[in-house]
Amino acid sequence: MATLRLGDTAPDFEQDSSIGPIRFHEFLGDSWGVLFSHPADYTPVCTTELGYTAKLADEFAKRNVKVLALSVDDAQSHKGWIDDINDTQKTQVNFPIIADADRKVSELYDMIHPNASATVTVRSVFVIDPAKKVRLTITYPASTGRNFDEILRVIDSLQLTDNYSVATPVNWKDGEDVIIVPSLKDEAVLKEKFPKGYTVVRPYLRVTPQPNK
């Protein structure tokens, strides 16, 4: 399987999980999705990640995002691990953990990197839009916990820039100024699209307040 690229269709799959069998595309429905992998159950860094993700349930819900984790262990192991996560992280895991004992999903999504390990998944994150297109991929080493605030930030940017002719600048956060795309040049269109006005820093760099705020 070649590495998934941005804009590729996220492969569909059916696999067991901590809440029973899941067909991926059907589970997502019209929602955005975050699929993220873990080297194994009962691993310390992943325990903190899953706990923090559970605490972000309201943040994902208001962005119309469904979250799925994945580990190569079986569903029964996942259920025991979830008890540990809930206890140690003081939360309630509210999303499924996919059981990938046969490595089917790991191979579909190129989550096993031979240079890291022949059998253990790296920490991969995939953001998938309602059209089932891959919009973001991030791969972390096994020793480094992921930044889920950053994943939310990217989803905010993707959802904003899908609907308006803007891009988001360095370190942008929801509510801050954005950049008008260089391809938009017609003055009448600019005034219509950006009634709050905009600042021309350079002809190619035009800054405007976030349109939907």
Boundaries of every domain in the chain: 14-145, 164-208
Tally: H helices and E strands in the chain: 7, 11
* Residues forming the active site: 46
CATH T-level assignment (fold) for domain 14-145: Glutaredoxin (3.40.30)
- CA–CA distance, 54 with 39 (Å, rounded to integer): 19
Average pLDDT over residues 59-69: 97
> How do residues 162-191 score in pLDDT, each as one tens digit?
999 999 999 999 999 999 999 998 888 899
What pLDDT score does 102 carry? 87
- Percentage of the chain exceeding pLDDT 90: 72
Q: Which residue has the tokens 């067909």?
A: 23
pLDDT band at 158 (very low <50, low <70, confident <90, very high): very high
Average pLDDT over residues 132-143: 90
Closest CA to 27 of 59, 68, 62, 57: 68
Which residues touch 17 (CB under 8 Å, ≥6 apart)?
68, 75, 78, 96, 97, 98, 99
What pLDDT score does 122 carry? 61
Average pLDDT over residues 39-56: 92
pLDDT over 70 at 40, yes or no: yes
What's the token pair of residue 101? 């004992």
Q: Mean pLDDT of all residues in the chain?
A: 91
pLDDT over 90 at 116, yes or no: no
